[in-house]
Chain A
Amino acid sequence: MILRLAFLSILRRPARHMLLLLLLAAACALPVFLLQMTAGLYNGLNRAVEPFPILMGAKGSPYQLVINTVFLRDHPIGNIPYRDVEALRESGRADLVIPLAFGDNYRGFRIVGTEPALFEYKPNRTRGPWLSVAEGSAFAAPGDAVIGSETARRTGLTVGSTFRGIHGLTNGTGEEHGGTYRVTGILAPVGGPYDTAILVSIEDIWRAHRHETGGQVRRGGIVRRHSGAAQAQAAPAAAESAEGVKGDVTAVLVHPTGYREAMQLLQEAQRARSSDSQLIFPAQTLIALYSMAGQSREFWELLTGGLIGAAVLITLLAMYWNGLSRLSEFALLRALGAGDSAVLRLLAAEQALLLLTGAAAGWLIGWGGSVLAAGAIEGRAAVGVSHPHRREAGPPPPPGTWRPGPPW
């Protein structure tokens, strides 16, 4: 009887309870939205960096190296010679060394020169390859290109489509150069920045940038073109006329054979102070970024806490006034034989129903809002804002399996 009365009181007087419900919904929606977005952002960042246990690139800001190579944003620091790639391979401390070369784009989507081994790369041994071709095949001949799922969706390119690269890394406004690329494959979605990549053979990048060096081979020389010069990004210097001679690369993805080997690689890189390259752990760089962002995050958390506190206070006040305004109703119920406990139960049941309804509505609004917001920024932002329900498939790694990550 009490529950029925409480339910009818709310159901048949919606206007009376609307303000309270709105307050409750707002008080719940705000933290749910912020928490979902924050968690999604951190998930997206962590997922994006997972395939890059170690990165080698030109000396300079490690943040810029990570942002450029992992998140496909900003400009590269510069280039390093291909012999650094070979040195890493010969060290025996890495089971996979893949060069990456940047410099061109198509309609703002970065063209990444690399080697076919990238399609076999499994960052986590318990899962499948990071970049797997869902449709078509990997590049095999000069001019072949494999595009990310988001690139395909937003450019309309399909297997068999052709396009020409544009020099530089800005939004597709520039001079077309190099040969024509033909799409041979489309990647399965990875939920990260490489969904917006265009992967081509690194030789195609070298070939396209021959003119920049005037046909001169730069052996060991680093092309220092820092960000800020829009059209002068660090395009990998090309080999001279002779095919098969290696040019420069922008970054190197290194998967060490183990934790000890990763540390040895780092120590060697630190010892070689005269070298023009640097070796970094992107996860470590990301954590440093997190700590830098921590202060502003604390501010937002404080602001959110204040808003929630104010909403809770207003809600409690509204509940109090709601109780006071119904004293005559409660007096009637007592006169009809309801005990004090029954009247209290009625009030509690009503407030509980309101709280549950408001909280459920708030959770839905917050969650739905975060899903919409994540969808709205998907593809535009450097990382996808994923949700906890969007976990990558696959069992957890067996105990003792080395997982790429920072050495602390």
Chain B
Amino acid sequence: MIYGEHIQCDFPDGEGHHLRALAISALTVPDHGCCAVIGPSGSGKSTLFRCLSGLLRPTAGRILIDGTDITALGSGELAKWRAGRVGFIFQQALLLPYLTVMENILLAADIAGLDRSQKRREAEAWLARLGMEGFGRRMPGRLSGGEKQRAGFIRAILTAPQLLLADEPTASLDGDNSRLLMGCLLDYQRESGCTLLCATHDPAVQALFPAQIRLMKGALAS
């Protein structure tokens, strides 16, 4: 369960003042929740994700995830917590260009210190399931945008995260690839029971989610 109260995030505006990017008085996402986070550009979706993953420490407020107050954790503890609990899917797949697809997929599992051989078998199974059998040895430069995003998806779920954050995952994909990726995401959420938050502008994607968190100028909209 995600519980947040009085979350505030301020950034310096360069003129000696602060710009409030996020101001949420209360946020609750139940266990195994599946929510679309919607709102116009600059409404605070990415900032909220950064706060929920511990990448950004809020200026004020508390965030509890499965009973852990992540705003009270030190940076080292936060990194460890993030490696084991949070999966990230980005707008671009952000695969490291000097690693093979398999090495990229295993990167998060390596950082989390998980059993590499077992995770490799799981990754191969996922690649086969997503129509990318034998792609493990390829370099990312030889993949299409949709294939890269699928590889990014496998990287995110391979650590079996309890919280899966997808930030505009279909923004750079065409319709077919978009549907394929969202199908994978939602299937995985149902199978694993993780909490899934997906920031999106796409109404078709929004319609796939039973619940929505709407942000407007950093605050929850009614």
- On whether the two chains bind one another, the answer is yes
Give me the interface of A with B, judged by CB distance under 8 Å. 1, 5, 8-9, 11-13, 328-329, 332-342
Whether A336 and B96, one on each chain, are in contact in the complex, defined by CB atoms closer than 8 angstroms, is no
Pairs across A and B, CB under 8 Å, 7 listed: A13-B97, A337-B83, A337-B84, A339-B76, A340-B75, A341-B76, A342-B111
* A337-B86, A337-B111 given; 5 more Cβ-contact pairs under 8 Å: A8-B98, A12-B98, A336-B83, A336-B107, A337-B84
* Distance of A337 Cα from B87 Cα, bound (Å): 9
Tell me the complex Cα distance, A145–B212, Å.
106
Task: Please tell me if the beta carbons of B96 and A332 are within 8 angstroms of each other in the complex.
Answer: yes
Residues of A contacting B132 in the complex (Cβ-Cβ under 8 angstroms)? none
In the assembled complex, B162 has its CB within 8 A of some CB on chain A = no
Digitize B53-88: 1 where CB-to-A-CB distance is under 8 Å, 0 elsewhere. Answer: 101000000000000000000011001101110101
- Residues of the B chain whose Cβ atoms lie less than 8 Å from the Cβ of A332: 90, 94, 96
Question: In chain B between 91 and 149, which residues have their CB closer than 8 angstroms to a CB of chain A?
Answer: 94, 96-99, 103, 107-108, 110-112
| Complex: A334 Cα to B86 Cα, angstroms | 12
- Assuming A8-B98, A13-B97, is B108 touching A336 (CB within 8 A)? yes
| Contact (Cβ within 8 A) B76 A13 | no
- How many angstroms from the CA of A342 to the CA of B159 in the assembled complex? 19
Interface residue from B53, B79, B99 paired with A339 (Cβ < 8 Å): B79
CA distance A8 to B80 in the complex (A): 24
Neighbouring B residues of A333 by C-beta, 8 Å? 107, 111
Chain B residues within 8 Å of A342, by CB: 79, 111
B53:A335 contact, CB within 8 angstroms: yes
Which residues of B lie under 8 Å from residue A334 when comparing CB positions? 55, 79
| Bound-state Cα–Cα, A79 to B86, Å | 95
Chain A residues closer than 8 Å to B97, beta-carbon distance: 13
Q: A1-B110, A1-B111 are in contact. Are A337 and B96 (CB under 8 A)?
A: no
Taking Cβ atoms with an 8 Å cutoff, the residues of B that contact A are: 53, 55, 75-76, 79-80, 82-84, 86, 88, 90, 94, 96-99, 103, 107-108, 110-112, 155, 159
Quote the shortest CB–CB distance from B116 to chain A (angstroms).
10
Q: Which residues of A contact B83 (CB under 8 A)?
A: 336-338
Determine if A337 and B80 form an interchain contact, defined as CB atoms under 8 angstroms apart.
yes
- CB <8 Å contact, A13 and B98: yes
A-chain residues with CB within 8 Å of residue B159 when the two chains form the complex: 337
Give the distance in Å from the alpha carbon of A96 to the alpha carbon of B156 in the complex: 88
Q: Which residues of A contact B98 (CB under 8 A)?
A: 8-9, 11-13
Residues of chain B within 8 A of A9, CB atoms compared: 98
Kindly report which residue of chain B lies nearest to residue A338, judged by CB atoms.
B111
The 9 closest A-B pairs by CB, nearest first: A337-B83, A339-B79, A12-B98, A336-B108, A337-B111, A337-B82, A1-B110, A335-B88, A332-B94
Chain B: CB-nearest residue to A13: B98
Q: How distant is the Cα of A338 from the Cα of B155 in the complex, in angstroms? A: 14
Q: How far is the CB of A354 from chain B (nearest CB, A)?
A: 14
User: How far, in angstroms, from A329 to B103 measured CA to CA in the complex?
Assistant: 15
Distance of B98 from chain A, by nearest CB (Å) = 4
Query: Shortest beta-carbon distance, B119 to chain A, in Å?
Result: 13
Task: Say whether B80 contacts A339, CB under 8 Å.
Answer: yes
A145 and B55 CA atoms in complex are apart in Å by 87
Q: Which residues of A contact B110 (CB under 8 A)?
A: 1
Give Cα A365 to B55, complex, Å.
46
> Distance (Å) between the CB of A2 and the closest chain B CB?
10
Q: Smallest Cβ distance from A49 to chain B, in angstroms?
A: 57
Least CB distance from B79 to A in Å reads 4
In the complex, how many angstroms separate the beta carbon of A325 from the nearest chain B beta carbon?
Answer: 12
A341 partner residues in chain B, CB cutoff 8 A: 76
From the candidates A8, A328, A337, name the one contacting B99 in the complex (CB within 8 A).
A8
Query: Which A residues are CB-close (under 8 A) to B90?
Result: 332, 335
List of B residues within 8 angstroms of A12 by Cβ: 98-99
Q: How far is the CB of A149 from chain B (nearest CB, A)?
A: 54
Q: Assuming A13-B98, A332-B96, is B76 touching A337 (CB within 8 A)?
A: no
Given contact pairs A332-B96, A333-B111, A339 touches B84 in the complex (Cβ within 8 A): no
Name the residue on A nearest B106 (C-beta).
A1
Q: A12 vs B99: C-alpha distance in the bound complex, in angstroms?
A: 8
Which residues from A are CB-within-8-Å of B108? Answer: 336-337
Contacting pair A329 B82 (CB below 8 A): no
Q: Which residues of B contact A8 (CB under 8 A)?
A: 98-99, 103
The residues of A that contact B107 with a CB separation of less than 8 Å are 333, 336
Q: Closest chain B residue to A16 by CB distance?
A: B98
Nearest opposing residue in chain A for B75, CB measure: A340
Bound CA span A340–B78, Å: 10
Who on chain A is nearest to B167 by CB?
Answer: A335
Cα–Cα distance between A12 and B104 once the two chains are bound (Å): 14
Q: Kindly list chain B residues whose C-beta atoms are within 8 Å of the C-beta of A338.
A: 79, 83, 111
A9 to B98, CA, bound (A): 6
With beta carbons under 8 angstroms apart, the residue of B75, B76, B99, B111 that contacts A336 is B111
Residues on B with C-beta less than 8 A from A11 are: 98
* Contact between A335 and B55, CB atoms less than 8 A apart: yes
Query: Are B94 and A337 neighbours in the complex by a CB distance under 8 Å?
Result: no
Residues of chain A contacted by B112 (CB below 8 angstroms):
337
Nearest-neighbor residue (CB-CB) of B161 within chain A: A337
Q: Which of B79, B80, B94, B155 contacts A340 (CB 8 A)?
A: B79
Interface centre among B75, B96, B99, B155 (most CB of A within 10 A): B96
Distance (Å) between the CB of A24 and the closest chain B CB? 20
Q: How far is the CA of A332 from the CA of B96 in the complex (A)?
A: 9
Query: How far is the CB of A150 from the nearest CB of chain B, in Å?
Result: 53
A337 and B55 within 8 A (CB): no
Residues of B within 8 A of A335 (CB): 53, 55, 82, 88, 90
Query: With A and B bound together, what is the CA distance between A9 and B99 in angstroms?
Result: 8
> CA of A328 to CA of B92 in the docked complex: distance in angstroms?
12
Cα–Cα distance between A336 and B96 once the two chains are bound (Å): 12
Q: Which residues of A contact B55 (CB under 8 A)?
A: 334-335
